[in-house]
Amino acid sequence: VSVTVFGLTTATSYAISDLVDWPTASLMVLGGLGGSFAGLRLAHHLSGSRQALSVVFAAVVITTGLYIVGTGMDALTALI
């Protein structure tokens, strides 16, 4: 609840100050809604198989970790 309140307060402050790029914000909101609905359907589909849900979650975590390591290596090699 507190995250929502702080987020709305900050968003309102930026909007009042005319610091929001509305076309970009709209695309981000639409993408978030689409991702939420897709995730909900996928979770419902996978809820019957705990193992399948665990495999999908593990794949997401591993992919994210590899991405973070990859971008970190790029930054590290740029320093050398």
pLDDT digits (tens, 9 = 90+) for 38-61: 989 988 888 888 888 889 889 999
Q: Is residue 20 left, alpha or beta, with left meaning phi > 0 and alpha meaning psi from -120 to 50?
A: beta
Q: Which residues contact 46 (CB under 8 A, 6 or more apart)?
A: 52, 53, 56
pLDDT of residue 42: 85
Cα–Cα distance between 33 and 13 in angstroms, integer? 23
pLDDT of residue 62: 98
pLDDT of residue 58: 96
- CA separation, residue 16 to residues 11, 19, 27 (Å): 9, 8, 20
